[in-house]
Amino acid sequence: MLSIGDRLKKYREEHGVYKTDMARLLEANYHTYCKWEDDYNIPGANKLFNTAVTLGWSLDEIEPWLDLPEKPDVLRQILIRALEKGLNRTQIARLADVNPSNFLAWCREDKPVTEPGLAKLEALADSPEWDLDYEWVTYGELVGPKTRSREKVGSALPRRGVGGVINYKLIQQLEAEYGQLTYVADDEPRLQTIREELRPGLCG
């Protein structure tokens, strides 16, 4: 069985990109990524889960390293289904209508799932469709045309999951100032205003 490092290297070589490109794609420090590829370190369960979503890996390839919670069964089932659908754990929490911080704690088994939380997870597990009624605003959408390096990565590496690769730190900063940056079609004028206000500062 290939190690995580072997799988990362294989993916990188198949797409003909550099380690710096992979680090950027996975939103990881370059030296951290190098340690992953060299098998000096293994990404934590949450990071590995998101890496799998981004790179389109199947559950079978990474389950031994995912450290999925054993109980409750419904939580494990949801995480497996989410991986297949290309959703990360924050998106699952939003779909289940539970606090993302609590959901991550349940996944790490830092604290038990509450009864109301369990009911929401069971409802999500029973739902035949997991449709997000919003789109994530990505970095590229906010600041306009990509730089040469981002353009290279974007064209060379297929981006998986809803909304592509998300810069959570940037989203957090922007939401603090502008409010929630998820949107539907009716919000396009507001999003355009945000783009215009941000472009000089972020791209100038």
- The encoded tokens of residue 141 equal 């959408």
All structural domains of the chain, each given as residue ranges with its CATH number in brackets, are: 4-126 (1.10.260), 139-203 (no CATH)
Contacts of 34 (CB under 8 A, 6+ apart): 19, 23
In the chain, % of residues over pLDDT 90: 22
Cβ–Cβ under 8 Å, residues 86 and 25: no
> What confidence tens digit (pLDDT) does each residue in 178-204 have?
665 554 445 566 666 666 666 554 444
Q: Residue 136: exposed, middle, or buried by beta-carbon count in 10 A (0-12, 13-18, 19+)?
A: buried
> What confidence tens digit (pLDDT) does each residue in 116-156 have?
999 999 998 888 777 654 444 333 333 333 333 333 343 34
Contacts of 23 (CB under 8 A, 6+ apart): 29, 30, 32, 33, 34
pLDDT of residue 33 exceeding 90, the answer is yes
Cβ–Cβ under 8 Å, residues 140 and 165: no
> What confidence tens digit (pLDDT) does each residue in 157-178 have?
444 443 444 455 555 666 666 6
pTM > 0.75: no
> What confidence tens digit (pLDDT) does each residue in 69-94 have?
777 888 888 887 887 677 788 888 88
pLDDT of 169 reads 58
Cβ–Cβ under 8 Å, residues 123 and 116: no
pLDDT of 181 reads 54
